């Protein structure tokens, strides 16, 4: 095992993580048209798209004795570049502020806190199928990438080393990949994505692998009739995210209070012009089957903008 | 007589100054398949604007059409237009040279 500074003994780490049992602390899967995942729409050759998304996540459904309450503020920056009309590369860099409050004894409530750069993602997306029609298009694009350990995974506070799920980064190089399909017309747009992420682990801790299925429907609310030129579009948005995460492993032993399956339903709005987009969405948990005493989500709010350069 | 000469000279100067403003380059109407949202239209317009001689590009998203107005004396090559639309990630469906003075509106 790779030695690490400040690491507790395996037993104490296991207890620490089991007590927390926190799932993903910040969602960095924010790229293009849908607000909670990617799209297969093209990035023009030689052009850049920048996206900034702010989010606030609250997870306070705790069946354990510690009455844990997790809050995460985040700002996720995404830069997309069109290498050619089919290949686009994306870089994603999150800034996270995580705060966990929990009971540590009778009448003693403590807060554990960290903030800074999280794990960056770099991935490429290649369009393998494209069918363009007048006023509509359909695309299928696989993608593959890596999550780099740019976030601190050994942060400490006055109570000692923060548990792994509360750290800013995982400390590991984690590959991921998937497939996106997008159908877009002048009236509406549908995106669907399946993805899988392999978490490799570091310093004796490994997050469980993640499977995701995401879907999005965007319906043009305004203008009701298209005139000349390129008017701004106001879309009503409904997205759903199905996530399954395997149990975390500590020194090879599965943590029974981690992982699980969740389904989010997310209503939102998006205003789209030629040069920029403003968007807002609220992610609400519809189904949560967490393993053991893993903490569950209350809601996540996301707001952001995108700019065409 | 001097007044007449001065007036004629002034008129010629005014006409000379305004002539470029009224000069209209050749216009083209491009049918672009796949164009279905404003954010994507920007990429098409930007790629077409990078072609030498292009003065102005205007999109009608409802019609899936892009009007390209060239500088006076310049012509738009169909192959270059097709490549520009392709680079933006879409497909050129039609390429029509507009009658002189027609801006596609």
Answer yes or no: do B36 and A274 touch at CB < 8 A: no
A137: chain B residues, CB-CB within 8 Å: 33-36, 90
How would DSSP label each residue in A31-91?
Answer: -SSSSSS-------BT-EEEEEEEEEEEE-B--STT--EEEEEEEEEEEEEESSSSEEEEE
| CA closest to B50 among chain A residues | A46
Beta strand segments in A107-200, E:
108-117, 120-126, 129-133, 136-148, 156-157, 160-161, 174-185, 188-197
Answer yes or no: do A134 and B64 touch at CB < 8 A: yes
Q: Longest Cα pair distance anywhere in chain B, in angstroms?
A: 65
Segments making up each domain of chain B, as ranges: 25-97
| B36/A contact by beta carbon, under 8 A | yes
Q: Determine the structural domain holding residue A112 and report its residue range.
A: 10-308
* Nearest CA distance, A252 vs chain B (angstrom): 46
| B21/A contact by beta carbon, under 8 A | no
Answer yes or no: do A277 and B39 touch at CB < 8 A: yes
Answer yes or no: do A226 and B61 touch at CB < 8 A: yes
Is A1 inside any structural domain?
Answer: no
Answer yes or no: do A132 and B34 touch at CB < 8 A: yes
| B43/A contact by beta carbon, under 8 A | yes
A192: domain CATH number is 2.40.160.40
Domains held by chain A: number:
1
CATH class of B25-97: alpha beta
Q: What is the pTM of this model?
A: 0.86
| B6/A contact by beta carbon, under 8 A | no
| CA closest to A87 among chain B residues | B89
A208 contacts: CB under 8 Å, gap ≥ 6: A199, A245, A246, A247, A248, A249, A258, A259
* Residue B89 CA: distances (Å) to CA of A33, A57, A183, B92: 15, 35, 14, 10
Answer yes or no: do A135 and B64 touch at CB < 8 A: yes
The secondary structure of residue A165, as a DSSP letter, is: G
pLDDT per residue of chain A (309 residues) written in tens, 0 to 9: 333 333 333 344 443 444 444 434 344 343 337 999 989 999 999 999 999 999 999 998 887 788 899 999 999 999 999 999 999 999 999 999 999 999 988 888 999 999 999 999 999 999 999 999 999 999 999 999 999 999 999 999 999 999 998 999 999 999 999 999 999 999 999 999 999 999 999 999 999 999 999 999 999 999 999 988 999 999 999 999 999 999 999 999 999 999 999 999 999 999 999 999 999 999 999 999 999 988 899 999 999 999 998
Answer yes or no: do A44 and B89 touch at CB < 8 A: yes
Is A260 inside any structural domain?
Answer: yes
């Amino acid at each position: 095992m790779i030695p690490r500074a400040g690491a507790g003994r395996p037993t104490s780490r296991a207890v620490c993580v089991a007590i927390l049992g926190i799932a993903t602390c910040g969602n960095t899967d924010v790229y293009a048209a849908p607000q909670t995942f990617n799209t297969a729409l093209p990035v023009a050759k030689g052009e850049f798209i920048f996206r900034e998304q702010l989010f606030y996540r609250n997870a306070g459904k705790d069946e354990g004795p510690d009455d844990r309450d997790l809050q995460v503020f985040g700002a996720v920056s995404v830069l997309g570049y069109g290498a050619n009309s089919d290949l686009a590369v994306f870089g994603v860099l999150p800034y996270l502020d995580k705060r966990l409050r929990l009971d540590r004894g009778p009448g003693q409530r403590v807060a554990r806190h960290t903030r800074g750069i999280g794990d960056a993602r770099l991935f490429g997306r290649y369009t393998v199928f494209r069918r363009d029609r007048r006023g509509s298009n359909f695309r299928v694009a696989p993608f593959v990438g890596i999550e780099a350990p740019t976030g601190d995974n050994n942060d400490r506070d006055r109570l000692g080393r923060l548990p792994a799920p509360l750290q800013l980064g995982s400390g590991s190089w984690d590959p991921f990949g998937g497939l996106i399909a997008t159908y877009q017309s002048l009236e509406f747009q549908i995106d669907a994505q399946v993805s899988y992420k392999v978490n490799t682990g570091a310093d004796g801790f490994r997050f469980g692998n993640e499977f995701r299925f995401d879907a999005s429907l965007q319906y043009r609310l305004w203008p009701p009739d298209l005139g000349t030129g390129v008017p701004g579009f106001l879309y009503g948005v409904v997205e759903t995210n199905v996530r399954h995460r395997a149990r975390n492993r500590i020194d090879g032993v599965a943590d029974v209070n981690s992982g699980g399956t969740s389904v989010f339903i997310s209503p939102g709005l998006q205003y789209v012009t030629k040069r920029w987009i403003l968007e807002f969405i609220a992610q609400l948990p519809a189904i949560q089957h967490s393993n053991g005493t893993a903490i569950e989500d209350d809601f996540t709010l996301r707001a952001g903008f995108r700019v065409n350069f | 007589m001097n007044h007449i000469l001065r007036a004629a000279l002034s008129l010629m100067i005014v006409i000379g100054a305004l002539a470029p403003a009224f000069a209209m380059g050749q216009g083209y109407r491009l049918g672009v398949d796949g164009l279905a949202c404003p954010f994507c239209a920007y990429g098409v317009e930007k790629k077409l604007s990078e072609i030498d001689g292009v003065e102005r590009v205007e999109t009608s998203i409802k019609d899936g059409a892009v009007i390209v107005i060239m500088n006076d004396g310049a012509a738009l090559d169909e192959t270059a237009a097709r490549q520009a639309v392709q680079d933006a990630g879409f497909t050129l469906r039609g390429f029509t040279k507009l009658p002189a003075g027609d801006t596609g509106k």
